[in-house]
Amino acid sequence: MPRRTTVRFAFGAATLILFALVAPVSTSAAATPTTKTTAKSDAPPFARVYLALRGCTSCAHCRTSIRQMVRSNAKGGEATFGEDRVEVRYPTPRSVPLREVIHSLAQSRLHDLSVVDVLFEATGTVSVGADGSHRFVVDKTGQSFPIELGSAAAGPTPGPVRLTALVQGWRGKGSLSLVAREVKGA
């Protein structure tokens, strides 16, 4: 065999061996997520607001306008957009400008766009006022909303709970209130 052919053959064999050794290591490293990443993605954000929409959400102009309106009023919230909803996530503790976020879309002049329902999710405590009414107090901010518990919970909670509630009162100029849909221990 000429020397040149032997060198090419040796180089090709070395390359194949190298790929055979490196490929399984990189594949297994990519397939196994780190514990920190998994734990972070499972943890719920500090608070979340869901706005169910009806109307034009398909054209690029409306989608861009919706994103801009929500982000400008979210005060640090991260807005994501779905086909018929907008989700505003607050990953760290802060006061949630619930009325401003809702009104940014409810009062928009986009063609045929309307807000159908609003859900609010956060961690906090349920307390009872002197008059017997219930209030949901958001952890770490003290932000408070009147709440109707219904069958979601029996009364005040001794510890923090994760609440998902329907927001009421946003169509008018009065105060906002919550209607509990789900109450879980935090």
Domain assignment of residue 85, yes or no? yes
Domain assignment of residue 104, yes or no? yes
Domain assignment of residue 91, yes or no? yes
Domain assignment of residue 18, yes or no? no
Q: Whole domain around residue 65: which residue ranges?
A: 44-185
Which of 42, 43, 184 has its CA nearest to residue 124? 184
Domain assignment of residue 8, yes or no? no
SS3 content of the chain, % helix, strand, coil (to 5): 30, 30, 35
Which of 151, 140, 148, 139 has its CA nearest to residue 176? 148
| pTM reported for the whole predicted model | 0.74
CATH code for the domain of 126: 3.30.70.100
Per-residue confidence (pLDDT) for residue 1, from 0 to 100:
55
| Nearest-angstrom CA–CA distance, 182 and 186 | 12
Q: What H or E segment, with its residue span, contains residue 161?
A: strand 161-168
Domain assignment of residue 24, yes or no? no
Domain assignment of residue 49, yes or no? yes
| Nearest-angstrom CA–CA distance, 186 and 162 | 5
Q: Is 26 exposed, middle or buried (0-12, 13-18, 19+ CB in 10 A)?
A: exposed
Q: What is the pLDDT along the chain (186 residues), one digit of tens a residue?
A: 565 555 455 545 544 444 444 444 444 444 444 444 444 557 889 999 999 999 888 788 888 888 888 889 999 999 988 888 999 999 999 999 999 999 988 888 776 788 999 999 999 999 988 898 999 999 999 999 999 988 766 666 678 999 999 999 999 888 999 999 999 887
Number of domain units in the chain:
1
Domain assignment of residue 33, yes or no? no
Per-residue confidence (pLDDT) for residue 129, from 0 to 100:
85
